[in-house]
Amino acid sequence: RPRVLSGIQPTADSFHLGNYLGAVRQWVALQDTHDAFYFIADLHAITVEHDPKLLRKRTRVSAAQLLALGLDPARTTLFVQSQVPEHAELGWVMQCLTGFGEAGRMTQFKDKSAKQGGMVSVGLFTYPILQAADILVYRPEFVPVGEDQRQHLELTRDLAQRFNTRFGKTFPLPEPYILKDTAKIYDLQEPQAKMSKSASSPGGIVELLDDPKVSAKKIRSAVTDAEREIRFDPEAKPGVSNLLGIYSALTGRTVDDLVNAYDGKGYGDLKKDLAEAVADFAGPVRDTVKSYMDDPAELDKILASGAQRAREVAAATLARVYDRVGFLK
């Protein structure tokens, strides 16, 4: 079975709809047909200032959400990045293959460092290189992510190619796996910007673990436009188109079908129905997360066994890499 690999940062109390529709939903679908490796990127989470207690909690809540959303640890290797030291070890080798200017061109770094109030860490600068190592250490064929990760995937492919050229063919070039319709879910308050844990105002993100009343209120207050017509036109009507896209993804109904069904109805109707769809979807997820968090020992056990499985693969790749760059056995 072809291998897939992806990760998510534990930097919020809850995943949002962008994380789910853009990435995690594909993770769940791919585990049936692929050899799947998914992890919580806690090493990446410390590239900005953080609270250790909160990080520990968010790492567990992230794992609990992935399980609640349908990852099956019997079929899928689910683990925490820091429990597999080979990521950081390969990361160093990859740093030594990356140009300073090349790293400086990463747009997420430019955005995040510009917004950063205090110190900008070197770790934030080398973040994409660690991400390349995260991926390459498993030698996957596909990496299911949202559109915002595309540039990091390109860097990953460049580094893999460079390593192969210098030291002999070692890495297959991983392909981004990005579904067009859900590649970018937008902020409800600012429908030109992506929904984002760090950048969005709280009103603009729908969090899976929010109270349904809170989500309903956010959806009700979503920015639309001065027209009244429900139609899909991301250029002219980014707000309404985003709501239609989310609703379509959650219910499996096509956008065309929805546009027909809402012919003659108002934005309020669409928002009300979307809020209901979100509540129906998120309710069971919230319950399952709660039961995992009530007994984190079970969760920690799943993660420990995932890390063990991940290390077998990662250690084999790292040994090959170390040998090829000329380190002693």
10 is in an annotated binding site: yes
Rg, C-alpha atoms of the chain: 21
Where do we find the tokens 């109390």? 13
195 is in an annotated binding site: yes
User: In terms of C-beta density within 10 A (0-12 exposed, 13-18 middle, 19 or more buried), how is residue 202 classed?
Assistant: exposed
Using Cβ positions, the residue closest to ligand TYM within the complex turns out to be 22
197 classed as catalytic: yes
* Candidate residues 65, 131, 224, 242; the one interacting with ligand TYM per rule CB under 6 A: 131
| Smallest distance, ligand TYM to C-beta of residue 229, A | 25
Pick 35 or 148: Cβ nearer ligand TYM: 148
194 classed as catalytic: yes
Contact string (CB under 6 A) for ligand TYM, positions 2-41, x = contact: ----xxxx--------xx--xx-----------------x
User: Using the rule CB under 6 A, is 69 a contact of ligand TYM?
Assistant: no
Is the C-alpha dihedral spanning 210, 211, 216, 218 positive or negative? Answer: negative
| Smallest distance, ligand TYM to C-beta of residue 30, A | 13
185 is in an annotated binding site: yes
User: Using the rule CB under 6 A, is 77 a contact of ligand TYM?
Assistant: no
Pick 8 or 159: Cβ nearer ligand TYM: 8
Which of 53, 57, 194, 329 is catalytic? The answer is: 194
Pick 76 or 262: Cβ nearer ligand TYM: 76
Number of residues that bind ligand TYM (CB under 6 A): 23
The catalytic site residues sit at 112, 194, 197
Binding residues vs ligand TYM (CB under 6 A) = 6-9, 18-19, 22-23, 41, 44, 131, 134-135, 143, 145-146, 148-149, 184-185, 194-196
